[in-house]
Structure formats: C-alpha cells, structure tokens
Amino acid sequence: MIGNLNHVALVVDDLDAAVDNWQNMLGATVSEPQPLPEHGVTVVFIDLPNTRIELLEPLGDGSPVSRFLEKHTGGGMHHICLEVTDIIAARDELIEKGARILGNGEPKIGAHGNPVIFMHPSNFHGTLIELEEVQAS
C-alpha cells in the first residue's frame, strides 16, 4: 500500500528560532512560512535529498498542535507522512483491517495541495501517521 516517506513533521514552539537553527547549524534550505488555518498550523518545509522535514507552529485558537505542545514542552516529533497512490482505496482497506481514521474519515487537502488522512496513533504504537495521495510519476 505505502510508497515513499513524504515527510517527517516536527512541532516547534518558536518557528523563527527553529528555522534559524536549521539554517545556521545544519545549513538547511528552508521555505517561507505558509499559514494553513484549516489545519491550525504555520508550516515551513526543509528539503533533503531523499525526503522533507516540516516544522509546524500552532496557528489560531484550538490548534491541535497547541495541545501537543502542552504535553511536549518546546516541541517534538509529531507525525510521519507516507505516500499512497489512491487515498480512498487506502482508507477503505485500513478501515476494513480495523484502523481508526481521525476526523470524519474524509481526506483533507494538506500542505502540498494533495489529499491527506491521519490514522489514530493507537494503531501504530503511539506514532501518528499521515497518508498523502501522490500521483505515481
């Protein structure tokens, strides 16, 4: 079912300071911040040769990332994102196999303009997994 690792997402409590660290300590190329009000986050992308890192900062009231920061002071790893070619087929197969999909189960449009769903962390021993539909190239 799954393809490439699309990204690893890290929550940070101070996006400017985090971007500064990635740029100046690691020499990373970091995108401009992109607000995603529908997801309650501001995100930047760090492109690596084989995948991406995303840094997430809470945006607005009731951001899911704010709750994460209450439990993980300063920030931490939030989720990994795996690519699938057909998100509806993947979702239906996962539900069939007993997985729990977060929200109403319908894909939302994610940071890269592609449909995404999230699986409940209890399915994968504590790790939140995002699936993103990426057309096979």
Please identify every residue annotated as catalytic: 130
Q: Which residues contact 44 (CB under 8 A, 6 or more apart)?
A: 15, 19, 30, 31, 32, 33, 34, 54, 55
- Cβ closest to Co ion, residue 87 vs residue 96: 87
**Minimum distance from residue 9 beta carbon to Co ion (Å):** 4
CB of 130 to Co ion, least distance (A): 5
Pick the binder of Co ion from 12, 81, 82, 84 (CB under 5 A): 81
11: which 2 tokens?
């929550």
- Give the tokens for residue 51: 């995948």
Q: How far is the CB of 136 from Co ion (least distance, A)?
A: 20
Residues numbered 12-71 forming contacts with Co ion, rule: CB under 5 A:
none
**Cα distances (Å, whole numbers) of residue 64 to 23, 39, 135:** 26, 8, 28
Q: Is residue 83 at the binding interface for Co ion, with CB under 5 A as the rule?
A: no
Closest of 51, 15, 45 to residue 32, by C-alpha = 45
Residues of span 92-131 touching Co ion by CB under 5 A:
130
Kindly list the residues in this chain that would bind Co ion in the complex (CB under 5 A).
9, 81, 130
